[in-house]
Amino acid sequence: MSVPLLKIGVVLSTMAMITNWMSQTLPSLVGLNTTKITAERAGYPDRSTGVLPANPEESWQVYSSAQDSEGRCVCTVVQNMTQSIQVLDQRTQRDLQYVEKMEVQLRGLETKFRQVEESHKQNIAKQYKAIKVKMEELRPLIPVLEEYKADAKLVLQFKEEVQNLTSVLSELQEEMGAYDYEELHSRVSICIYERYFYVRYSFTACGKLTGISDPVTIK
């Protein structure tokens, strides 16, 4: 809402308040319900009762009339309308200034909200761009991770094989632990001798079977 529209609204509301106050409060204050207002043709009422100024230089005043014990009319100023209107105008001007200040503050607050909203959108856009750049930087690492994954599987296989080999070696160690060094050495020697005699016996048997005892030269 602009300032001129606010001023027009304040003026109209002030006029309505004055009209309502004059129509409801003034009759009871000045005793118009028991007295009668009389006006001359010139526009200036009788000094006994009325709401118009006695002369153009005087301010607007409200008079109340009554009769004394001798029957004379006594006029009393109930309220100075000009002063009341001035006070009301000052109050209205003060309220209008307050409303104008509030309007300026509201516009400033609205501007700040817009700035915050725009900065929030800009921050979101910047964060999105930064995340996108990071994703582009990390994209080449995907094949490397796949290789690491395959290597990890291979390491697991090696680990299983090592465990199997460890169990086999443990069994061999248990078997070999049943013999001492000398007994093992003698058993190895016996095996070597048995192999040697087996080979020699094979050559000797082959000569007996063919019946060749001496070397023979064939031409």
* Residues 48-103 pLDDT 10s: 444 444 554 555 555 566 666 776 766 665 556 667 777 888 888 888 888 888 88
What is the dihedral angle through the alpha carbons of 8, 19, 92, 44, rounded to the nearest 10 degrees? Answer: 110
Q: What confidence score (pLDDT) does residue 208 get?
A: 47
Q: What confidence score (pLDDT) does residue 41 get?
A: 35
Q: For residues 95 and 88, what is the distance between their CA atoms, to the nearest angstrom?
A: 10
Q: What confidence score (pLDDT) does residue 126 get?
A: 87
H or E stretch at 173 = helix 141-177
* C-alpha distances out from residue 128 to 112, 115, 136, Å: 24, 20, 12
Q: What confidence score (pLDDT) does residue 154 get?
A: 85
Q: What confidence score (pLDDT) does residue 157 get?
A: 84
Residues in the chain predicted with pLDDT less than 70, given as ranges, are 1-12, 15-68, 71, 73-82, 172-173, 175-185, 187-188, 193, 195-219
Q: For residues 38 and 162, what is the distance between their CA atoms, to the nearest angstrom?
A: 128
Q: What confidence score (pLDDT) does residue 58 get?
A: 56
Q: Nearest-CA neighbor of 32 among 17, 11, 48? A: 48
Q: What confidence score (pLDDT) does residue 61 get?
A: 58
Q: What confidence score (pLDDT) does residue 188 get?
A: 67
Q: What confidence score (pLDDT) does residue 38 get?
A: 37
Q: What confidence score (pLDDT) does residue 51 get?
A: 46
Q: What are phi and psi of 32, to 5 degrees?
A: -70, -15
CB burial readout 25-62, b (16+ within 10 A) else e:
ebeeebbbeebeeeeeeeeebbebbbbbbeeeeeeebb
